[in-house]
Amino acid sequence: MRSSGEIPSFAELLAGCHTSAVHLELRDSYADNERFAAWRRGDRIDWKGRATWWHPYDQTIADAVARGVVIRRARIISEPVSEYIRWEHYVTTANVTAGEQVRWLPRRLATDIALPGNDFWLFDGALLRVHHFDGDGAVVEDELTDAPALLKLCAAAFETVWDRATPHDQYQIR
């Protein structure tokens, strides 16, 4: 495994991706950020004014999808959802507009799934970027690996979650 200082950026990893990138999220909250703070204050996004919310991340995703890369994101969440997840559900419109496929799985439906302990991105089923967070949800370090056992565990976990999860446009926040 290589640690954060030696890892290419997400954009570089995705640029080298040929067929698929999958992302599994396991937390009910992540570190505070200005966009979340604005939402908490009552600010809402004008989804028709794309220039006001489209970020470089969205373009990176759109470019990869245009090249034929299938990008899927699955989130395992507790219900009732946290305030952070309520916000993530709201801003997922940007992910979907950029070309990601997103699904939601209530944690109670994941009890029998062998899950890794950390969020990850898996690129082309061959390269794994593992995210390590502190207790408040800030990224402490990322690791990059191609260890076969980890690739197999994470790919299987993601596919099981994906098969059970509800597509974004059908998942209703409770």
What HEC string does the chain produce?
Answer: CEEHHHCCCHHHHHHCCCCEEEEEECCCCCCCCHHHHHHHCCCCCCCCCHHHHCCHHHHHHHHHHHCCCEEEEEEEECCCCCHHHHHHHHHHHHHHHHCCEEEEEEHHHCCCCCCCCCCEEEECCCEEEEEEECCCCCEEEEEEECCHHHHHHHHHHHHHHHHHCEEHHHCCCC
Peptide bond into 106 cis (omega under 30): no
Q: What's the pLDDT score for residue 66?
A: 98
Cβ neighbours of residue 33 closer than 8 Å, sequence gap 6 or more: none
Stretches where the chain sits below pLDDT 50 are none
What are 58-96's pLDDT values in tens digits?
A: 999 999 999 999 999 999 999 999 999 999 999 999 999
Q: What is the pLDDT of residue 73?
A: 98
From residue 149, give the alpha-carbon distance in Å to each of 8, 44, 109, 126: 22, 43, 24, 11
| Residue 65: per-residue pLDDT | 98
pLDDT at site 170: 98
CATH of 2-170, one of 3.60.21.10, 3.30.870.10, 3.30.70.860, 3.30.200.210: 3.30.870.10
What pLDDT does 2 receive?
A: 55
The confidence score (pLDDT) of residue 6 equals 81
Instruction: Please give the pLDDT value at position 88.
Output: 97
Give pLDDT, residue 19.
98
